[in-house]
Chain A
Amino acid sequence: NAGVTQTPKFQVLKTGQSMTLQCAQDMNHEYMSWYRQDPGMGLRLIHYSVGAGITDQGEVPNGYNVSRSTTEDFPLRLLSAAPSQTSVYFCASSGGRGEYGYTFGSGTRLTVV
């Protein structure tokens, strides 16, 4: 039982490049979400999903796309990376529709130059 797995752990992108951050969970959780955390700041919700085929926007969705084709996976796509997207990205999952405690991944540290 691996929990929530995020890949890659570190990534450097050039401005304008696109990439996908991967998130996978093996707990059969319906609810998954993506957060970003800037240095010294709290977490901000980007997108979330309450089940396969269902996604919704969080606080800061601009510049990011998500899809949920399976229960296990919830990838986050950066369409055209900008320096303002330099951050640590965390993926989380929970049973039900998020009413239970979340399990977080270990994060992806992204730098956009």
Chain B
Amino acid sequence: DAKTTQPPSMDCAEGRAANLPCNHSTISGNEYVYWYRQIHSQGPQYIIHGLKNNETNEMASLIITEDRKSSTLILPHATLRDTAVYYCIVRVANTGGFKTIFGAGTRLFVKA
């Protein structure tokens, strides 16, 4: 199973871009990279996912390196409400279906 490595915490100034890195050096060719975030003690919120091409939606951009061993989630203009724990996940395939394993994530602090 591919594992992910994220820094435990990061700071970002309000209004600046927040770049959250993730290493997944053992990722397989058919595994996707997903990002979620969890604000306070709420349920996690899906942000974005991708296979090998860069992806963008209304919340964020996902940049995946050409060798797919790492990725970066970009919040282009961070606000105080983006303070949360961000999880980078690689989807694991299992017999009969799929299961998703969460790691410890990165705690992002957006400061005024």
With contact pairs A42-B102, A43-B102, A45-B101 given, residues A56 and B46 touching in the complex (Cβ less than 8 Å): no
In-complex Cβ contact of B98 among A42, A59, A99, A107 (8 A): A99
Q: Is residue A44 within 8 Å, beta carbon to beta carbon, of the partner chain?
A: yes
State whether A98 and B104 are in contact (beta carbons under 8 Å apart), knowing that A90-B43, A104-B44 are contacts in the complex: no
In the complex, residue of chain A having the shortest beta-carbon distance to the beta carbon of B45: A104
Please determine whether A99 and B42 come into contact, CB atoms closer than 8 angstroms.
no
Q: Which of B16-24, B64-72, B75-83, B89-97 contacts A (4 or more CB under 8 A)?
A: B89-97
List of A residues within 8 angstroms of B36 by Cβ: 101-102
Residue B7 at the chain A interface, CB threshold 8 Å: no
Q: How many residues of A contact B (CB 8 A)?
A: 29
Q: Are A31 and B97 in contact (CB under 8 A)?
A: yes
**How many residues belonging to B are interface residues under a CB distance threshold of 8 Å?**
25
Which residues of chain B come closer than 8 Å to A99, judged between CB atoms? 32, 91, 98
Query: Quick one: given A42-B105, A101-B34, A102-B36, are A56 and B99 in contact (CB under 8 Å)?
Result: yes
Nearest Cβ in chain A — how far from B70, in angstroms? 20
Q: In the complex, which residues of chain A have a beta carbon less than 8 angstroms from the beta carbon of B101? A: 45, 59
CB of A105 within 8 Å of the partner chain: yes
Contact indicator A102/B98 (Cβ below 8 Å): no
Q: Does B109 contact A (CB under 8 A)?
A: no
C-alpha gap A66/B105 in the complex (Å): 27
Q: Are B49 and A107 in contact (CB under 8 A)?
A: no
Known: A4-B43, A48-B97, A98-B97. 12 other contacts (CB 8 A): A33-B99, A50-B96, A56-B94, A56-B96, A88-B41, A97-B97, A99-B91, A101-B34, A101-B36, A101-B49, A104-B45, A107-B43
A interface list, Cβ under 8 A from B? 4, 31, 33, 35, 41-45, 48-50, 54, 56, 58-59, 88, 90, 92, 97-99, 101-107
Q: List 12 A-B contacts (CB under 8 A).
A: A42-B102, A43-B87, A43-B102, A44-B102, A45-B99, A50-B98, A97-B97, A97-B98, A98-B98, A98-B99, A99-B32, A107-B43
